[in-house]
Amino acid sequence: MDIENTTVCVVGLGYIGLPTASLLGTRGFKVVGVDVSSDVVETINAGNIHIVEPDLDVLVKSAVGSGNLSASLEPVAADIFIIAVPTPLSGEQQPDLSFIRAAVAAISPYVVAGNLVVLESTSPVGTTDEIVAAMLAAAGHSVGRDVHIAYCPERVLPGRILIELVQNDRVVGGINDSSTAAALDFYQAFVNGDVYGTSAKTAEMVKLIENSYRDVNIAFANEISMIAEQEAINAWEVIELANRHPRVNILSPGPGVGGHCIAVDPWFLVSRNPPLARLISTARQVNDEKPRWVIEQVKARAERFKRPTIACLGLAFKADVDDLRESPAEDIASTLLDEDIGEIVVCEPYLTSHPRFELCSLEDAVNQADIVVLLVDHKAFRHLSAASLNHKVLIDTRGIVK
């Protein structure tokens, strides 16, 4: 592929779209990133970022400074279009694909023969064929012959996105063989990991079962943690010792499951195949109910105080990021506030403000607290010990306080 003469339009400049656009820009592609937010567009065009991700600020500044990356409110003509928009859940755990439909409609006037359109948004099986290809075909494009269409899910971990975009293996699936070949040619130009070609539906299902596998395993760990608590046993010690078995690898429990992937993707399989996805559905219910179990643990300990001060440590969905999407920690803190369990103080070192909470330092949160609820295993919290908490009531949902 002639990178320097290949143009790319990335629709959606969030946690996947912006790192992808900036990476491509530093590799020599001419990239225009598209977002519906004028604030996001202005921020990026100034060489700055609106999300927290290690080294992303340097990459964006470099890509913008070189002239290879710019941001816009509207799509532009390009050789390759990447759709990286949100796919949230709507009511009753059904996938909301309206952002994908809007993105396809927005790029359609700019698509011409020879283009490659890639959907990267996590989607139910069939979305690439039934929405992206179908909409472009209905708009008069010669889909699968002159216009190639493929699906390529991201496989990155927040906090390591820039590393994993390049190093991780990728799966690309086209709506036909020529589309798969075109997508392989593109991703092999900047991915150091292996890139595997398949069909669009297979690639879509690969992404969903990767995160469903993890969700089922976390649900198992979360059930263990609740049973262990009932038996007055340390769940993390039990799991650590069980994992000494050569064929056992239990994940770590937590206050629930968050993020846009593991907490959402399994429902995409369930929604399309309800009678067949019974284990996946049950795991989702276990993990969705875990925050309520944590809240009940807090309420039980709060009974010994007239009106306790409860310090919630962490709001993000995982350690060392600012991402609140589907965060069980934020859900727990908000519910404790709504149910007026006591005075709620919050420390979240990766945020400067929050619409519901006045954030404070770790020291202030712990000093004020009668009950400390550790919800996120941020590095900033890992030095805490039972002794340093001065025998305050501790509910450690991450098992890091020794």
The 10s digit of each residue's pLDDT in 132-143 is: 999 999 999 999
pLDDT at 313: 98
User: Which amino acid belongs to residue 164?
Assistant: E
Classify domain 3-199 by CATH number.
3.40.50.720
Q: Which of 15-24, 83-92, 299-308, 328-337 has the lowest mean pLDDT?
A: 83-92
| pLDDT, position 4 | 87
Nearest to 76 by CA among 121, 31, 40: 31
Q: Is the pLDDT of residue 390 over 90?
A: no
CA distances from 198 to 100, 172, 174, 202, 208 (A): 22, 6, 7, 7, 15
Residue 80 to residues 6, 107, 116, 138, Cα–Cα distance (Å): 8, 11, 5, 20
Read off the pTM. 0.89
What is the overall mean pLDDT for the chain? 96
Phi-psi region of 343 (alpha: psi -120 to 50; beta: other; left: phi over 0): beta
Strand order in the sheet with 309-313: 343-347, 309-313, 371-374, 393-396
pLDDT tens sequence across 180-201: 999 999 999 999 999 999 999 9
Place 287 in a pLDDT band, splitting at 50, 70 and 90. Answer: very high
Q: Would you list the domain boundaries of the chain?
A: 3-199, 303-402
Which contiguous run of DSSP H or E holds residue 116? strand 116-119
Complete DSSP assignment for 54-114: TTHHHHHHHHHHTTSEEEESS----SEEEE-----B-GGG-B--HHHHHHHHHHGGG--TT
Residue with tokens 């284990």: 279
pLDDT of residue 250: 97
DSSP single-letter state for residue 177? H
Residues sharing a CB contact under 8 Å with residue 58, sequence separation 6 or more, in sequence order: none
Instruction: Give, in order, the Cα–Cα distances in Å from 169 to each of 152, 153, 262.
Output: 11, 11, 19
Is the CB of residue 44 less than 8 Å from the CB of residue 51? no
In this predicted structure, what is the pLDDT of residue 74? 97
Residue 118 has pLDDT above 90, yes or no: yes
The 3-state DSSP class for residue 327 equals coil
* CATH 2.130.10.10 fits domain 303-402: no
Segment 323-338 shows an average pLDDT of: 96
Q: Is the pLDDT of residue 52 over 90?
A: no
Which helix H or strand E contains 201, and what residues bound it?
helix 200-230
Q: With 90 as the cut, is the pLDDT of residue 366 above it? A: yes
**Model pLDDT, residue 157:** 84
How far does Cα 13 stand from its chain's mean position? 14
Catalytic residues: 207, 261
Average pLDDT over residues 99-113: 98
Longest dimension (CA), the chain: 72
Average pLDDT of the residues in 263-289: 96
Whether 271 shows a pLDDT value over 90: the answer reads yes
Strand partners, 118: 82, 150
DSSP designation for 261:
T
Instruction: Please give the single-letter amino acid code of residue 155.
Output: R
What is the percentage of the chain residues whose pLDDT exceeds 90? 92
Fold match, 3-199 / 303-402: yes
Q: Give 376's pLDDT tier (boundaries 50, 70, 90).
A: very high
Judge contact between 356 and 337, C-beta under 8 A.
Answer: yes
Q: Supply the pLDDT for residue 391.
A: 83
Strand 170-174 and strand 195-199: pairing? parallel
* DSSP code per residue over 1-63: --GGG-EEEEE--STTHHHHHHHHHHTT-EEEEE-S-HHHHHHHHTT--SS--TTHHHHHHHH
